[in-house]
Every structure is written in C-alpha cells, then in structure tokens.
Chains A and B, each alone.
Chain A
Amino acid sequence: EAQVTQNPRYLITVTGKKLTVTCSQNMNHEYMSWYRQDPGLGLRQIYYSMNVEVTDKGDVPEGYKVSRKEKRNFPLILESPSPNQTSLYFCASSLRAPTSGGNYNEQFFGPGTRLTVL
C-alpha cells in the first residue's frame, strides 16, 4: 500500500531533550516536506527536500533540522525542544515538487505526530 508513515504518532517530552520524528514513504517520491499545524495558524512549512541530499528551509525552520540521506526517509530533528514547538506535525511527499511541470503532483500526507514539550 502506497503510504507515508510517521513515528512516533504521539510524544510527550521535556524541554531540551533531543528528539527525532521519522518520516518514510514507499512511493519513490523525490519531494518531501514537513509541516506543523497549530490552531488558528493552519499548516506552516518547516523544511522541504527536492531530492536526496537537497533540503531547504520553509517558513518556520527555527529550532528544527532535517536530513535526506535516502530517498524514502526524511527525519525531523529537534535538537533542543521548547514548549513553543508543541504542535501537530505532518510529513508529506509527492513524486516531484507540488506544482512542478505545471501540473499538480499529488501530495500524500502522513498521519501526523502530536508532540507535547513540557
């Protein structure tokens, strides 16, 4: 089954304790992206990756890191989490960038990771 998986689905942690949220897709997609969803703010892009070893900042990258060593995986790293990073996080992937080639490249979203930083 074609899907985007995220782990963990729920995480409660404390300020300053490094954590990684994994994202994996099995569709051989080039493009992957991380969003955070907050009430009243919608989805905001954190980082995206156009392909292996190519990553770039989105709109709210502060406090986050990513890596893209393999095509299928795009982990989100919080080196020193803070309470303002409490949020719902979504990973997404698509064959290419969302509107590459003038067409819509369907975005497949993961199930979300609810993170609470105390």
Chain B
Amino acid sequence: AQSVSQHNHHVILSEAASLELGCNYSYGGTVNLFWYVQYPGQHLQLLLKYFSGDPLVKGIKGFEAEFIKSKFSFNLRKPSVQWSDTAEYFCAVNARGATNKLIFGTGTLLAVQP
C-alpha cells in the first residue's frame, strides 16, 4: 500500500530563513506528486505538482520541489520565507493509473516569526 511520510511535524522559522520540508513516499511504481497548503482558517490549495519531465518543479509564491526518484522523495523548498507562509503543508502522492486516489501525508505546520 502507498504511504506518505512527512517527518517534520512542526517547523518554526524566522522571516527570510530558508525552508525545506521533507516528503517521502513508499510505492514502487510511477507516481504523481503534489504539495498542498492550508492557510489558517482556509481550505487546501495546490502549491505545485509533478507528473513527469524536469524533476525540479516550481509552484506558486516562490515554492519549488524536487523529485528524487532514487530516494522516493519530493521535498518542498523556499529560499526565503515570509510571515504569510505560516500554514500547514501537505505532501500527496497518486499512483499512476489510480486516478481516483490521492494519499496525503500527515502535514507539517510551519510558523514563521516576523
């Protein structure tokens, strides 16, 4: 069965610090990968996605993620965080062909201090 691990449950950073959130998945086949963000009191929104091609994908608001197939990882990065990035971040995996199912990680709560 597929699973997604996000090892950082809570992250606290100061503004302008760099961010890297880990995401590892367990599935031997081809996957589609996603990062979603949930701002306080709001619904989930897509940050970025990887289906194929360049393993370094860029999303909205300056976020990027790198797919490293050999490590089964899809880590999220941002060079300089802002207070407005305070949110919960979810990694999600979809097994290619299992069109109906996104498997979400447990989430990482990011707090950015001004």
Contact = CB atoms under 8 A, between A and B. Distances in A.
Interface of A: 4, 31, 35, 40-45, 48, 50, 56, 58, 90, 92, 96-104, 106-107, 109-112
A90 B106 contact: no
Contacts of B49: 104
B16 to A, nearest CB: 29
B13 to A, nearest CB: 21
A48 B98 CA distance: 13
Contacts of A112: 43
Interface of B: 4, 6, 9, 32, 34, 42-46, 49, 51, 90, 94, 96, 98-102, 104-107
B43 A111 contact: yes
Contact of A102 (B45, B51, B101, B106): B51
Residue of A58, A107, A111, A112 with most partner-chain B CB within 10 A: A107
Contact of A90 (B43, B45, B51, B99): B43
A104 B99 contact: no
Given A98-B100, A99-B32, A100-B99, A43 B90 contact: yes
Contacts of B43: 4, 90, 109-112
Contacts of B32: 99, 104
Nearest to A45: B101
A111 to B, nearest CB: 5
A43 B104 contact: yes
A32 B34 CA distance: 18
Contacts of B96: 99
Contacts of A50: 100
B100 A31 contact: yes
Contact of B46 (A31, A35, A107, A111): A107
B106 A40 contact: yes
